[in-house]
Amino acid sequence: MSEAAPCPESLPDAGPLPEAFRRWFDRRGWRPHAHQLAMLEAAEAGESALLIAPTGGGKTLAGFLPSLAQLAEHRQDGLHTVYVSPLKALTQDIHRNLTEPLEQIGLDIACETRTGDTPQSKRLRQRRRPPQILLTTPESLALLLSYHDAPEVFARVACVVVDELHALAGTKRGDLLALGLARLQSLSPACRRVGLSATVREPEELRAWLSPTGRAKDAPVRLIRGGAKVDPQVEILTTREYLPWSGHMAIHALPEVYERIRKAGTTLVFVNTRAQAELVFQGLWHLNEAGLPIALHHGSLAVEQRRKVEAAMARGELKAVVATSSLDLGIDWAAVDLVVQMGAPKGVSRLLQRIGRANHRLDAPSRALLVPGNRFEVLECRAALEGVRAHSLDGDPPRPGGLDVLAQHVMGMACAGPFDSDELYREIRRAAPYADLPRKDFEDALAFVAHGGYALGVYERFRRLRQDAEGKWRVTHPRHIQRYRMNMGTIVEAPTLKVRMGRRRILGEVEEYFVQALQPGDTFVFAGQLLRFDGIRETFCEVSRGGEGEPKVPAYVGGRLPLSTHLAERVRGILEDPACWRDLPPAVAEWLAIQRWRSLLPNRNGLLVETFPRGDNEFLVAYCFEGRNAHQTLGMLLTRRMERAGLQPLGFVATDYVLAVWSLKAVKDPDRLFDEDMLGDDLEEWMAESSMLRRTFRNVAVIAGLIDRRAPGQEKTGRQVTFSADLIYDVLRKHEPEHILLRATRADAAGGLTDIRRLADMLARVKGRIRHRALERVSPLAVPVLLEIGREQVYGEALDELLDEGAQALIEEATARTDQAELPI
């Protein structure tokens, strides 16, 4: 942990640093960073503080220093500081890294972790005799606050430290934490809050999040900036190989990447999906004649496996790790001196976060190499590089907190003890995501928790909460408390199966739907190995080594992030301005030049739409640059419209950059087709039926406490599945479309995924600015998307169309007449 500046730095005045600490810094030849001292000053003034600093700035120590200093001077028994991290593993690392200075400075301060992995006995003891410093996660904190003894446990908490705040704010876990902190503040009104964050676009939003009143202007939250790092050196790989037209894996460049790994000290190879991680890892080992120690790290691998890789990395034993976002956050590895991004980065902030994992010293630049997977990705990498140079980050505006999380919190608070609804409402509004929560939404959440909140009120006698004589709300039965504890949390995972080799060895988890498509004997790549699928047994996917045939690669729902709005804008800017093309690889510059000659180039504010015939079909290609998800939705809406217009659409395919639709008849008037009113009834109708909304409803229902999480093995033991979220959704939608859970679902789907908003913004922007080119044949810029056809193309999600297609195919197969001439008789 490079927690302080090893070299002399202009030191203000070591004023607030206690003597024992100063000596400790001296002994190590360190001097405290200016921002570390500023954090001490904020603490002395009793103010909350938001520290924004790049990785490697001694951020964590800066967060803890004030608490350590306070505890060193005035010993206080009981909980003094709560540290919250989004990662369980991070709490362990922080624990290790705190223990060292504590011992060396000679401080007798108890510091413990508490997560889902903490044994029951220790958890019980922690409530009775809490340590002075507790390192925990948002979920574990919420649980602690739901016990009746929370007022005693948290009574004297002086400080809460929220690490990686940028990764929590704006998510449902962030909502849960904000609500928990609001309660904690009521229990210990003098508590200060400290937020640690990577560089963000809008620090004001994080200040508001951190504020004990939920609003930045009402309470002082001091903004402290850590020393800015030297600008990173980012380079785009100009491949010697042929630059592919399509695909995202960037496998073509692996020999060159391998060369860079050889030459560097330690390399982090970041990829965008777990499937890509497996392929890149395989590819690198295929080339690995020197036998370099290269490891694999992604979220589906068994925890022990991941911990092993992290530990080997920390010891400096690895030459490279191929990783997904599973390593975006986490403990510093000083030794990493090169970060490789395989495939397009999708966002500037994300790229900066990843680059920040290299070279954790403020005085030396991080080195990064971007490896685009295709021609469009070259443009995207170029745009991202400019974004990094300009320090312009992407970020979505804050969204209101989820109503499902609110319902969960209300239940949690009821578990802690009887509450007054006015008081709870006021307390909840002090959490930033709920600062503007209307009373009606609160009352609806409360009604949902109490009795389901249905218009009929038929569940009166089954109430979970009831008002007592004083008007306070109480839980009616201990089983409701038990169910809350079993089901709380905001992370709802897709159902997975454990991958097991032999009787004991667990390699990790794959999503159930992937396994369901496998036949025994099929092979797939997982955890860097070629595995043979043997079958499903209970909740295990049983495999053995080896096998034959073309292996499949597990895909995961939601594995791919869409292109950020900010980056999309930059890409359009590059396309518009040929002066920017000089730096592009010749193949790409030439590609754009031919496009300009044959058709038009997309520009910043308009929308280029090309139509052309190809084979028996008429194609329409729209250069929207709004990300895959938004394009998927647009494709769905456009095909509906075209259907009604009698154009007989046959299918569409969406990439991050463009949308292509094909039909039997040609589109003549794109202006009408792209009219803004597209987002009206069609969208409503499609959304209601879409599987995306159904999935969202399921998650909302689990978080709000309507549906229990699946306990492992539970679903395989019962003969009949209990009930499905789909059926509940259909019935509720019909009878009570304004129920709070449906409102929460729609808010998630429309606002949370931001894609609908992006679409709406785009349609408004391009109104009257559609530039239509009716071409005789495919344009150069349209080639990549046409190559995607067949690879990932879906027409609608309509159950009936697919069922019919499957049934027809079988009939054709069965009735196909054998050609006598081909028979050997």
Partner 1 sequence: MTTMHSANGLAGTQPTAKLCVNGAVLVADISGALYWPAQEALLVADLHLEKGSAYARWGQMLPPYDTCTTLNNLESVLARFRPRRLIALGDSFHDRTAAERVAPSERARIRSMTEALDWIWIAGNHDPEPPADWGGRVEPEITLGALVLRHEAIESHVAGEISGHYHPKASVRVRNKRISARCFIDDGRRLVLPAFGAYAGGLSVLDPALRGLFSREFQVHLLGRERLYRYPSHALVL
Return the number of the residue (420 or 730) whose C-beta is nearest partner 1. 730
99 binds partner 1 (CB under 8 A): no
76 binds partner 1 (CB under 8 A): no
- Report, in Å, the least distance between residue 800 CB and partner 1: 4
The residues in 798-817 that bind partner 1, with binding defined as CB under 8 A, are 798-800, 802-811
Return the number of the residue (721 or 823) whose C-beta is nearest partner 1. 721
**How many other CB atoms are found less than 10 A from the CB of residue 552?**
16
- Report, in Å, the least distance between residue 441 CB and partner 1: 18
Return the number of the residue (225 or 463) whose C-beta is nearest partner 1. 463
Phi/psi for 85 (5° steps) reads -125, 145
Residues with Cβ < 8 Å from 454, sequence gap 6 or more? 736, 739
87 to 118, 191, 261, 567: CA distances (angstroms): 14, 23, 28, 28
- Report, in Å, the least distance between residue 604 CB and partner 1: 37
Copy the structure tokens of residue 102.
């504590």
Produce one character per residue of 230-241: b if its CB has 16 or more CB atoms within 10 Å, e if not: eebebebbbbee
The residues in 237-266 that bind partner 1, with binding defined as CB under 8 A, are none
Return the number of the residue (200 or 275) whose C-beta is nearest partner 1. 275
- Report, in Å, the least distance between residue 707 CB and partner 1: 8
711 binds partner 1 (CB under 8 A): no
Question: How many Å apart are CA 815 and CA 586, to the nearest integer?
Answer: 53
Question: How many Å apart are CA 223 and CA 207, to the nearest integer?
Answer: 8
Return the number of the residue (29 or 737) whose C-beta is nearest partner 1. 737
821 binds partner 1 (CB under 8 A): no
Interacting span for partner 1 (CB under 8 A) from 142-150, 204-212, 503-511, 702-710: 702-710
Question: How many Å apart are CA 161 and CA 724, to the nearest integer?
Answer: 40
Return the number of the residue (190 or 458) whose C-beta is nearest partner 1. 458
703 binds partner 1 (CB under 8 A): no
Question: How many Cα atoms are found within 13 Å in the side-chain-facing hemisphere of 57?
Answer: 26
Chain length of the chain:
825
464 binds partner 1 (CB under 8 A): yes
Interacting span for partner 1 (CB under 8 A) from 244-252, 387-395, 580-588, 714-722: 714-722
Which residue, 210, 197, 212, is CA-closest to 165? 197
Return the number of the residue (274 or 464) whose C-beta is nearest partner 1. 464
- Report, in Å, the least distance between residue 409 CB and partner 1: 17
7 binds partner 1 (CB under 8 A): no
Q: What is the 3-state secondary structure (H, E, C) of 213-244?
A: CCCCCCCCEEEEECCCCCCCEEEECCCCCCCC
Question: How many Å apart are CA 163 and CA 178, to the nearest integer?
Answer: 13
Contact characters 773-802, partner 1, x per CB under 8 A:
---------------------x---xxx-x
Return the number of the residue (469 or 727) whose C-beta is nearest partner 1. 727
Return the number of the residue (121 or 519) whose C-beta is nearest partner 1. 519
485 binds partner 1 (CB under 8 A): no
Question: How many Å apart are CA 13 and CA 790, to the nearest integer?
Answer: 66
**How many other CB atoms are found less than 10 A from the CB of residue 791?**
9
Question: How many Å apart are CA 336 and CA 558, to the nearest integer?
Answer: 29
Return the number of the residue (477 or 672) whose C-beta is nearest partner 1. 477
Return the number of the residue (11 or 809) whose C-beta is nearest partner 1. 809
Copy the structure tokens of residue 529.
């190995």
- Report, in Å, the least distance between residue 688 CB and partner 1: 13
- Report, in Å, the least distance between residue 781 CB and partner 1: 27
Return the number of the residue (316 or 737) whose C-beta is nearest partner 1. 737
708 binds partner 1 (CB under 8 A): yes
Question: How many Å apart are CA 342 and CA 610, to the nearest integer?
Answer: 30
Residues with Cβ < 8 Å from 446, sequence gap 6 or more? 410, 421, 465, 473
Contact 627, 568 (CB under 8 A): yes
486 binds partner 1 (CB under 8 A): no
Return the number of the residue (74 or 734) whose C-beta is nearest partner 1. 734
- Report, in Å, the least distance between residue 448 CB and partner 1: 7
- Report, in Å, the least distance between residue 280 CB and partner 1: 23
Looking at residue 822, what DSSP letter applies?
Answer: G
- Report, in Å, the least distance between residue 502 CB and partner 1: 23
Give the containing element (helix H, strand E) for 374: none
- Report, in Å, the least distance between residue 106 CB and partner 1: 52
Contact 198, 164 (CB under 8 A): yes
The residues in 433-452 that bind partner 1, with binding defined as CB under 8 A, are 448, 451-452
Contact 547, 502 (CB under 8 A): no
124 binds partner 1 (CB under 8 A): no
The residues in 498-557 that bind partner 1, with binding defined as CB under 8 A, are 513, 516-517, 536
Return the number of the residue (204 or 682) whose C-beta is nearest partner 1. 682
- Report, in Å, the least distance between residue 717 CB and partner 1: 12
587 binds partner 1 (CB under 8 A): no
Interacting span for partner 1 (CB under 8 A) from 283-291, 308-316, 604-612, 728-736: 728-736
Interacting span for partner 1 (CB under 8 A) from 281-289, 333-341, 384-392, 457-465: 457-465
Of these, 77, 426, 459, 586, which contacts partner 1 (CB under 8 A)? 459
Contact 321, 296 (CB under 8 A): yes
The torsion of the CA quartet 79, 81, 84, 87, rounded to 10 degrees, works out to -90
Which residue, 637, 656, 746, is CA-closest to 400? 746
Quick one: angle between helices 172-187 and 421-428, nearest 10?
120
- Report, in Å, the least distance between residue 554 CB and partner 1: 13
Of these, 10, 605, 717, 720, which contacts partner 1 (CB under 8 A)? 720
Of these, 31, 306, 480, 566, which contacts partner 1 (CB under 8 A)? 480
Return the number of the residue (103 or 460) whose C-beta is nearest partner 1. 460
30 binds partner 1 (CB under 8 A): no
* Type of residue numbered 68: L
Produce one character per residue of 741-750: b if its CB has 16 or more CB atoms within 10 Å, e if not: bbbbbbbbbb
- Classify burial at 617, counting beta carbons within 10 Å of its beta carbon; exposed 0-12, middle 13-18, buried 19 or more: middle
- Vertex 63: Cα angle to 58 and 67 (nearest 5): 130
Of these, 483, 640, 743, 771, which contacts partner 1 (CB under 8 A)? 483
Residues that bind partner 1 (CB under 8 A): 448, 451-454, 456, 458-459, 462, 464, 477, 479-480, 483, 513, 516-517, 536, 706-708, 719-724, 727-728, 730-732, 734-736, 739, 794, 798-800, 802-811
